[in-house]
């Protein structure tokens, strides 16, 4: 009797509706994560896992300079990517929200999604064409006589990784900021000026704090996936642009060392999570919504 009434209650209905999704998420996301987590404490054996518990993998991760260096570079790269992406996304979001007429906003948002119409892989590849030794930029500058030999700092280093990733993630950064800006009551900006502040100071004191919830969301949406990006550094990173995901791939598929690859993965996840949490904590005052 009691059981039946629970299933008929609102909470019961909610759980019933949620359960297929929850089940799916458990199978495809949580289960592999748990597997990786367990693997990371096991002993390596070529192309297989030896089921003896060990902390050696983690000891290696933290003692060997290659992992810490790559992890550091990953964080630095995705940090720079995040900064570049969010700083360029903000003016775009601001323009669409404040200067595009309401009737045209949907069109603009639609235009912003156009890069997604081609595969991620192809977009990365096209950057290679643009930035390469005989690429679009170098050919153009050579042809114009601005430079006399091709620039080599464009491709196969951190610059190219940053440019490519910043371009790929721009829409993800624009949308949350746009939404936050859209929610700002325009009379607040007039009030700011009415109370004696210039447009710029009104932006600093009113618009920016109110847009911060969107900025924080953008930062997380860009930072977390780019820290673990694999395709971009592989294609345009060169030797100096390699990131942590490349070494994970190496451990798993080239060296067949599953436990070591898992330990690096778990460490990278933990570090990225920690950085994200610290960032959210530092910005917590912007994230309190109206009750």
Q: Which residues are near another protein by CB under 8 A?
A: 185, 187-188, 190-198, 201, 205-206, 209-210, 286, 290-291
Residue among 59 and 194 whose Cβ is closer to another protein: 194
Cβ nearer to another protein, comparing 3 with 285: 285
Cβ proximity to another protein: between 148 and 291 the closer is 291
Query: How would DSSP label each residue in 65-118?
Result: HHHHHHHHHHHHHHHHHHHHHHHHHHHHHHHHHHTS-GGGHHHHHHHHTGGGGS
Vertex 257 angle, CA 230 and 251, to 5°: 20
The least distance separating another protein from the CB of residue 154, rounded to whole angstroms, comes to 42
CB of 47 to another protein, least distance (A): 56
CB 259 within 8 A of CB 42: yes
Residue 4 or 186: which CB sits closer to another protein?
Answer: 186
Nearest distance in Å: CB 25, another protein: 34
38 vs 212 by CB, closer to another protein: 212
State the minimum distance, in angstroms, from the CB of residue 170 to another protein: 27
What is the closest distance, in whole angstroms, from the C-beta atom of residue 80 to another protein in the complex?
29
Helix (H) or strand (E) holding 229: none
SS3 43: strand
Give me Rg for the CA atoms of the chain.
Answer: 24
94 CB neighbour count, 10 Å cutoff? 17
């Amino acid at each position: 009797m009691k059981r039946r009434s629970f299933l008929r209650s609102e909470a019961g209905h909610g759980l019933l509706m949620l359960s297929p999704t929850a089940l799916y998420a458990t199978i495809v996301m949580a289960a592999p994560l748990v597997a990786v987590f367990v693997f990371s404490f096991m002993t390596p054996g070529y192309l297989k896992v030896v089921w003896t518990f060990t902390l050696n993998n983690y000891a290696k991760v933290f003692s060997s300079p290659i992992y810490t260096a790559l992890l550091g570079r990953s964080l630095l790269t995705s940090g720079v990517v995040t900064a570049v992406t969010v700083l360029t996304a903000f003016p775009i979001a601001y323009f669409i929200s404040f200067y595009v007429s309401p009737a045209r906003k949907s069109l603009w948002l639609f235009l912003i999604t156009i890069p997604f119409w081609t595969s991620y892989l192809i977009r990365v590849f096209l950057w290679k064409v643009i930035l390469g030794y005989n690429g679009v930029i170098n050919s153009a500058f050579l042809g114009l006589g601005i430079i006399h030999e091709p620039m080599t700092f464009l491709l196969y280093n951190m610059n190219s990784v940053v440019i490519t990733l910043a371009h790929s993630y721009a829409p993800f950064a624009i949308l949350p900021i746009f939404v936050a800006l859209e929610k700002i009551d325009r009379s607040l900006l007039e009030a700011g000026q009415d109370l004696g502040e210039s447009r710029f100071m009104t932006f600093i004191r009113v618009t920016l704090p109110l847009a911060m919830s969107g900025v924080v969301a953008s930062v997380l949406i860009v930072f977390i996936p780019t820290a673990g990006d694999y395709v971009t550094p592989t294609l345009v990173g060169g030797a100096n642009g390699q990131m942590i995901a490349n070494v994970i791939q190496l451990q798993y598929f080239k060296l067949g060392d599953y436990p070591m690859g898992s330990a690096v993965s778990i460490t990278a996840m933990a570090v990225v999570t920690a950085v994200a949490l610290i960032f959210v904590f530092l910005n917590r005052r912007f994230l309190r919504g109206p009750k």
